[in-house]
Amino acid sequence: MVKVSSLALAGVQVSYAFAAPYFADPQQTVFDTPPTSRIDKINPLKHLSAISPFFIPTEEPTPLPNPTCNITTASFLIRHSSIMGNDDEFEMTMQPFIWKVGNFSDDVFPSKDELAQARMRMRGGEDEDVGVDKWQFLRDWKTPVEEETLEKLSKRGSDDAEYLGKYLRKQLGYLFPPPWKGKNSHKHHHEDADGKHKKKLFGRNVKDDGGDDDGKAPHHHHHDKDGHDVPEKNPKHKEPGPPYKIWTASSARDIDSAQAFIKGAFPDHQAGKEGNGDGVNVQLVKVPNRKKDWEQSLTPHKACDTFEKESSLPPAAKWLKIYAPRIRQRLAHVVPRIADKLEDMDVLAMMELCGYETIIQGDSGFCNVFTDDEWLDGEWYFDVRFHYMMGYGNELSPFLGAPWVKTARHLLAGDVDDQKPHDKDGENKDGNTDLWADWVDEVVEESDELMQAFVEDVVDDGWGLFKRDPHHKGKKHSDKKHKGDKKKHGKKHGKKNKGKKPKEGDKLPEPKLPPNGTHTQLLHAFFTHRESPAFVATFLNLYNDTVNGMPAASVPPVLDMRPEPRQWRTSELVPFLGHIALERFSCGIQDPASDLVAAGEKDTSNDYVRAMVNGKFERMIGCDDGLGKACRWETFEKWVDARLEIWGEQWWDEVCTKKDD
């Protein structure tokens, strides 16, 4: 971990006074609040931090400030979906516990008499919801978490990523390319009595016999090398634009998550068979994990030589030594022979197994053996660890979050006048209004058959297809169990690649343009690892006010108790598929009397930016002068520039290059 004293860069005093301009007064009672007592049975899967399967913290995304507001462009940074185990966690905690239980003698487990007595107590009305009966599973337990399948995407993870694609399409459909784009036009043709092709265009039947009733040039098509239907070049046709891109880090779990997302967000003819995109309308782009020249890659911590995780373990271990013995003490009265063999790390292992076993096979006996307080204490362990690994407790965090925010700010601006290569059909000014106009033109050019289908979709699904309507109610993501991972992803699936068969990701193109070079789309999605959303949160100064509990930048966090309330909850920031979005939105109607509008330019005085974490609005402390505590666009640009002066790329080599001892 880099020390503050080593960041005296060109006379700049690096301090978290800028990252966290407001700190809680040490005398505030939020630090002294006792841990929450038992509540009405929490769902432990929502309190496992980075092991939590995908969930949406709120039923509906935070609505825009008023009905005149509409999102014009957005950038998403998305963690990969649920895997079947993490290498480090398996080696450090789960594997030793698995071996230990495997060596238990039969008399360690609860006897039949003990189980019968427990059932009698329950029938008598005694509270045994975490009693000896819940440990019966351990006698015949065999975990599905295996070394051969670690880091691989689970079946649930694939399903969840596909669901997220559908969910974002539902919420922000108009920021995606039209669903009929790229679909073979012959599917919409019909034959008349003479066998001639005809199509219905805005209420009129038009024969397709080499010409049309409007006297326009006939439409001729050819197929490209991939078999896609592409119009011939002629003056009456637009050149086909570049494909809509999704970017992914190069690890298999990132690629697999992005492919599943694409299958959910795009129709089959755009998504391609494997989720790589069809290459014409949609394209998945692989960014090598250590590609420093692509704005330090999508996994900047892998491109930063001084980043390490080990120094985050001792602070978390201090809290583990406080809460784990309390759990073992309780278990000594429930399953004494098992409790006698447990160590503090075994408590952590069982909580981790609850998450991973549920991801793989749909349930886990370990999810039923702890109280609510114990689950919340375990959550604080991860919050402490990640505070020091990828949050405000690591001085590298804002440096590692800066590249993506800089890229997102550029893309939100639609700014292509910077002497860099860009993927564009022409100059798209602030707000990408030309892209919106192009999209409308495409809609108008379609037949009324497609338009009718589109209208029916809107009627069926509500105007949430067009913008986030606070009154629109979508379907909640189900908590259904996902079975079959063991069968699909067992040892056979998990055998190491011996080089005979190329990896799926090897087929994917690497980026030819800088990360801020694509201005032909309105939504940009990037898939990454768990660290990156937390890095971005620190740069954006999230979770850091003095009103809603202990600010996230409190250094050091308390380690002898669980602070409640608090703002830094990694279960809501970096669960599987956890994502941060920067959304630019405009409110009101452009005043035609405005000097800017009269000059043919866009008036951005009613434009704002907000940060959304898994669909929930979070204030950027220090940049919250707009509607609903969002940030005015002009303020946002200046605020990001000021923070880049402290944590921008000019300091990368200084903070990320290891020094010789």
For residues 611 and 617, the answer to whether their CB atoms sit within 8 Å is yes
> Burial letters for 216-232: b for 16+ Cβ neighbours within 10 Å, e otherwise?
eeeeeeeeeeeebbeee
Please report which residue ranges of 172-304 form alpha helices under DSSP H: 252-265, 268-271, 300-303
192, pLDDT greater than 90: no
Q: Which amino acid is at 602?
A: K
Report CA torsion sign: 387, 388, 392, 398. Answer: negative
For residue 560, give the 3-state DSSP assignment. coil
For residue 423, give the 3-state DSSP assignment. strand
Predicted pLDDT of residue 130: 65
Q: Is 191 exposed, middle or buried (0-12, 13-18, 19+ CB in 10 A)?
A: exposed
> Is the pLDDT higher at 548 or at 432?
548
Neighbours of 547 (CB within 10 A): 11
For domain 4-85+154-181+241-309+388-656, give the CATH superfamily.
Phosphoglycerate mutase-like (3.40.50.1240)
Reported as a single tens digit per residue, the pLDDT across 571-621 is 999 999 999 999 999 998 655 555 544 445 556 779 999 999 999 999 999
Reported as a single tens digit per residue, the pLDDT across 98-141 is 999 999 999 999 888 888 877 776 665 555 556 788 999 999 99
Paired strand residues for 283:
245
For residues 9 and 657, the answer to whether their CB atoms sit within 8 Å is no
The tokens for 585 are 């939105």
322, pLDDT greater than 60: yes
Reported as a single tens digit per residue, the pLDDT across 267-314 is 999 999 999 999 999 999 999 888 777 667 789 999 999 999 999 999
- Taking alpha carbons only, the member of 149, 158, 81 closest to residue 493 is 149
- Span(s) in the chain for CATH 3.40.50.1240: 4-85+154-181+241-309+388-656
Backbone angles phi, psi at 482, to 5 degrees: -110, 110
The tokens for 648 are 């921008």
For residues 156 and 260, the answer to whether their CB atoms sit within 8 Å is no
CA torsion angle 323 325 330 335 (round to 10): 130
Neighbours of 619 (CB within 10 A): 21
- Taking alpha carbons only, the member of 448, 411, 462 closest to residue 173 is 462
Reported as a single tens digit per residue, the pLDDT across 26-67 is 222 222 233 333 334 899 999 999 999 998 877 788 999 999
d(CA 196, CA 202): 19
Please report which residue ranges of 90-206 form alpha helices under DSSP H: 95-102, 112-123, 155-171
Question: What is the pLDDT confidence band of residue 326, given thresholds at 50, 70 and 90?
Answer: very high
* pTM (predicted TM-score): 0.77
For residues 593 and 549, the answer to whether their CB atoms sit within 8 Å is no
Name the DSSP letter for residue 48. Answer: S
- Taking alpha carbons only, the member of 564, 471, 523, 661 closest to residue 247 is 523
Listed in sequence order, the residues at least 6 apart from 235 whose beta carbon sits closer than 8 Å to its beta carbon are none
Name the DSSP letter for residue 467. Answer: S
Reported as a single tens digit per residue, the pLDDT across 493-520 is 444 444 444 455 567 888 776 666 677 8
Stretch 12-22: mean pLDDT, rounded?
Answer: 30
Mean pLDDT: which of 33-42, 85-94, 102-111, 228-237 is highest? 85-94
For residues 109 and 338, the answer to whether their CB atoms sit within 8 Å is yes
